[in-house]
Amino acid sequence: MLAGQTPPPRREELPYSNSRSLRIAGVPVGEILAPDYADDGKRKRNAGSIICVVATDAPLLPSQITRLCKRAALGIGRVGSFAAHASGEIIIGFSTANKVPRATSGMTHQIEILLDDACDGLYEAVVECTEEAIVNALCMAEDMRGHGDHFAPALPLDDLVEILSRHHAARER
């Protein structure tokens, strides 16, 4: 390095190297990538945060939305999170289906609700959509420098494509 040059960034906060648990499409991507980053500095603690918003136009009651939000945690778990101590998983949800008028001549208003027995498809969709949203975010992320000059590189997409191709080809055999 020449005098006055900035040193190259260190890989201190790889979201996939401090924990071997990252899974994409069921493939243990974190375990496969970890050896490539074994000598890099990284976080000692596996504590991160995620905010998940579950929005639907299905006519749901607050208790049903709560159950829907609990399924989002399953989607977070599918990509490898185990909700470590000091991590922050915040999941909020809402429905836009029922509108209560601001001004009305009566004191009651009827709303439509989906019966509990009809919610399984929504539960499955929330798990899958949450997983996909996290993978999309990881794949679209760019290198980032944060507080304390910590560096988080982007997920190596060429390596990811190779890993997933190799594992899916092995499954087909």
The pLDDT tens digits along the chain (173 residues) read 344 444 433 333 334 435 678 999 999 998 898 887 665 544 555 567 899 999 999 999 999 999 999 999 999 999 988 887 777 889 999 999 998 888 888 888 899 999 999 999 999 999 999 999 999 999 998 988 877 777 777 888 999 999 999 988 888 87
Q: Are 82 and 159 part of one and the same domain?
A: no
CA-to-CA distance for 134 and 140, rounded, in angstroms? 10
**Domain presence at residue 2:** no
Count of C-beta atoms within a 10 Å radius of residue 167:
16
**Domain presence at residue 159:** yes
Q: Are 93 and 69 part of one and the same domain?
A: yes
Q: 109: exposed, middle or buried (C-beta count within 10 Å: 0-12, 13-18, 19+)? A: exposed
**Domain presence at residue 105:** no
| Residues recorded for the chain | 173
Q: Are 59 and 92 part of one and the same domain?
A: yes
Domain that holds residue 116: 45-97+111-140
pTM flag (> 0.85):
no
Q: Are 77 and 132 part of one and the same domain?
A: yes
Q: Are 136 and 171 part of one and the same domain?
A: no
CA-to-CA distance for 138 and 81, rounded, in angstroms? 14
Q: Are 81 and 163 part of one and the same domain?
A: no
**Domain presence at residue 67:** yes
Q: Are 85 and 128 part of one and the same domain?
A: yes
**Domain presence at residue 57:** yes
- Give the count of domains, the chain: 2
**Domain presence at residue 104:** no
CA-to-CA distance for 170 and 173, rounded, in angstroms? 5
Q: Are 21 and 63 part of one and the same domain?
A: no
Q: Are 116 and 54 part of one and the same domain?
A: yes
Q: Are 69 and 126 part of one and the same domain?
A: yes
What is the domain-level CATH number for residue 59? Answer: 3.30.2330.10
**Domain presence at residue 123:** yes
